[in-house]
Amino acid sequence: MPPVIAVNGLYCRYGVTHALTDVSFTVDGGDYIAVVGPNGSGKSTLVKALLGLAGCDEGDVTLFGTSLQEFNDWHKVGYLPQNLNLFNPIFPATVSEVVGLGLLAGKRFPKSINRSDSTRIEETLEQMGIADLRRRLIGDLSGGQQQRVLLARALVNRPQLLILDEPTAALDPETRDRFYTLLADINRNSGTTLMLVTHDSATVGGCASKLLYLDKKLVFYGTFKEFCASPEMTGHFGGAAQHQICRLH
Ligand SMILES: Nc1ncnc2c1ncn2[C@@H]1O[C@H](COP(=O)(O)OP(=O)(O)OP(=O)(O)O)[C@@H](O)[C@H]1O
């Protein structure tokens, strides 16, 4: 099986700003990668590069063994973006309809929801624990509930790879922890490969299998255990900062 993601010698910049320099790594099926790093370290740029949305000048990205230039299997990839644009209360769509949009994206014209799609939507709502919200208007829900709906929309196609860019930024700590538990269940139960950009490295360390630390270049990529036992990383971050990331390990 080819790796789910293979990045090789990636360089990305915005004008004169170098966002990523010589980044290479591979992600295997079933991995759960926590992508961390300071503000402006290139995390969102990496996500955009994986989705073919960043202008990178050098290097290759391969998804499921196919170079991004030829990759067409976008139904295998789910994406939850960073900016949680909370819905306006009068946005005229129900929870079921918003989740259904995730299925329409993968269809050719004419796009419509059939009976098996409706079953799939219902199953996904159940899985996310939001079936009781199905007829509510999305704009009437709390931030945590809306984020679950958007996660359901990203998952309704049953993607093999789910990329999440700071999905918990607008959530309170308790809702955030529940969201992380949900992601860990998805990874464990359906083997979905997860790539999660987060500032909660300590919290997510309890569930993610590997840590990818960016600071415009790849500072570290490996298991949390390796990170926590690495004298090189102690030298790089200082013991206190390393302990912050490692305290749940
Ligand atoms: N559209 C853009 N135009 C110009 N510069 C950009 C653009 N997007 C990002 N940058 C710059 O590229 C660098 C990497 O940004 P990026 O958003 O990838 O970082 P990040 O790690 O996701 O940051 P944060 O944690 O703050 O979300 C930063 O210096 C940023 O200012």
Q: What is the mean pLDDT of residues 238-246?
A: 77
Is 128 domain-assigned?
A: no
CATH code: domain of residue 12: 3.40.50.300
Q: What is the mean pLDDT of residues 130-143?
A: 90
Q: What is the mean pLDDT of residues 223-243?
A: 84
Cα–ligand 1 centroid distance for 14 (angstroms):
9
Is 120 domain-assigned?
A: no
Is 150 domain-assigned?
A: no
Cα–ligand 1 centroid distance for 224 (angstroms):
25
Distance CA(227)–CA(201), nearest Å, equals 12
Is 202 domain-assigned?
A: yes
Is 130 domain-assigned?
A: no
Instruction: Tell me the pairing of strands 210-214 and 218-223.
Output: antiparallel
Is 166 domain-assigned?
A: yes
The total of structural domains in the chain comes to 1
Query: Are 73 and 64 contacting, i.e. CB atoms less than 8 angstroms apart?
Result: yes
The pTM score is: 0.89
Is 38 domain-assigned?
A: yes
Judged by DSSP in three states, 63 sits in strand
Is 98 domain-assigned?
A: no
Handedness of CA 64, 219, 83, 99 (dihedral sign): positive
pLDDT tens digits, one per residue of 8-52:
999 999 999 999 999 999 999 999 999 999 999 999 999 999 998
Cβ atoms within 10 A of the Cβ of 114, count? 10
Distance CA(40)–CA(24), nearest Å, equals 19
Residue 189: Cβ-neighbour burial (10 angstroms; 0-12, 13-18, 19+): exposed
pLDDT tens digits, one per residue of 64-101:
999 999 999 988 999 988 656 666 767 788 999 999 98
ipTM comes to 0.97
Distance CA(222)–CA(209), nearest Å, equals 8
Binding site membership of 55 for ligand 1 (Cβ less than 6 Å) = no
Q: Which domain holds residue 13?
A: 5-86+161-246
